[in-house]
Amino acid sequence: MGTYILRRLLIAVPSLLGISVVLFTVLALAPGDPFEELATNPNVPAEVRLALRAKFGLDDPVWQRYLHWLVAMVHGDWGFSFISRVDVDTLIAQRVPVTLAVIGASQLVALAIAMPVGIYSAVRPYSWFDRIASTLAFVGFSLPTFFTGILLILVFSIKLDWLPFVYRADLGATGWAWWWEEIRQSIMPIAVLGLFQGASWTRYVRSSVLDVVRLDYVTTARSKGLDERTVIVKHVVRNALIPVVTLVALQMPTVFGGAIVTEQIFRIPGIGALLIDAILRNDTPVIMAVTFVFACLVIVFNLTADLLYGWLDPRIAYR
C-alpha cells in the first residue's frame, strides 16, 4: 500500500501543476486591479500605486509571475493579501477552524441521517417508511440552501427568537457559557448543510443497498440460516458502501465550496466568505491560495476513497 500511495502522490504533482497554471493564468488575465481604490483616492500619489505594483510584480509577464508564485509556494510562502495586509497563510489559518467545525458537524449529521434511513428504506422497499423517507428526501435536496437558510432564520430567529442568525467569532463568554453560545449559533448552518446533504445521500444509499440486497450471494447467506441483521450489516451494507464512499469523498471538496452560500447567509467568517470577499476586491493572492487548496482537497479525498475501497472490499488489491 505504501508504494501505491507514493505512486498516487507522484501522479498528483503534475495534476496540481496543471491546475495551478490554469488558475494563475485566468486570474492574471481577468479584469480588475487590486489597487484600484488607491487610484481613485486623491490623497494617494500615483507614484505610490506604481511602486506597489512594481513591488508585487503586477506589471511583470504572466509566466514570470507564475514562476515567482510557484517558487514561493514550494518554500511555504503563500503570498501577501493586498486587501487585508497580512500573509495569506495566516488569513486562511484564521478561517479554517470555523469552516471545519461547521462543515465537519454538518457531514456527521448528513451521514447520521442518510445511512440508517437509506438502509432501512432499501430493506423495506415501497413500505410506508420508504415512501415517507423518499418524499422527504426529494423535498430536502430540491430546496436550495439559501432558501432553507432564510426560512430557518425567519422561524427560529425572527419569529421565535430562539437562535442567533449572525455567527460571531468573538464570543465574549468563557467556559461552558462559550460552548453553549457556540452550539446555539452553529445549529442553523449545520442543519442547513446537513439536511441538504443527508437528503441527497439518503437516495444514493437506498439505491446502492437495493442493488446489493437482490444479489445471489445475499440469498445464499440467508439460506445458511444467518439472521437478517447479520446479512444486512456484514454482507449487504459493506459492499453497498463502496459507491457511497466514492460519492461522499468526491463531494467533500464541493461541500467546502458549497458552504460559501451558507456562510454568506449566516455571516460565518469561514473560507467561503473569505473567497467571496477576495473575488469582489480582486485580492488575487487569496483567490489563488483558496482555489488551490480546493484542488488539493479533491486529490486528497480521491486517494482517501481509493484506500477505503480496500478496507470495504478485500478483493481490491493495490498495485
Over range 285-300, report the average pLDDT.
82
Q: Are 209 and 123 in contact (CB under 8 A)?
A: yes
Query: How far is CA 97 from each of CA 16, 240, 262, 286, rounded to the nearest angstrom?
Result: 24, 33, 16, 17
**Grid cell for residue 52:** 506597489
Read off the pLDDT of residues 89-142 as tens digits, 9 standing for 90 and up. 888 888 888 887 887 888 888 888 988 898 888 888 888 998 998 898 888 888
Residue 318 pLDDT exceeds 60: no
Distance CA 134, CA 194 (A): 17
Read off the pLDDT of residues 10-44 as tens digits, 9 standing for 90 and up. 777 888 888 888 888 887 777 766 666 655 566 66
pLDDT band per the 50, 70, 90 thresholds, residue 285:
confident
| Distance, CA of 305 to chain centre | 15
Distance CA 186, CA 166 (A): 10
Kindly report the backbone phi and psi dihedral angles of residue 80, in degrees, each rounded to the nearest multiple of 5, phi listed first.
Answer: -125, 130
Query: How far is CA 303 from each of CA 250, 289, 307, rounded to the nearest angstrom?
Result: 10, 21, 6
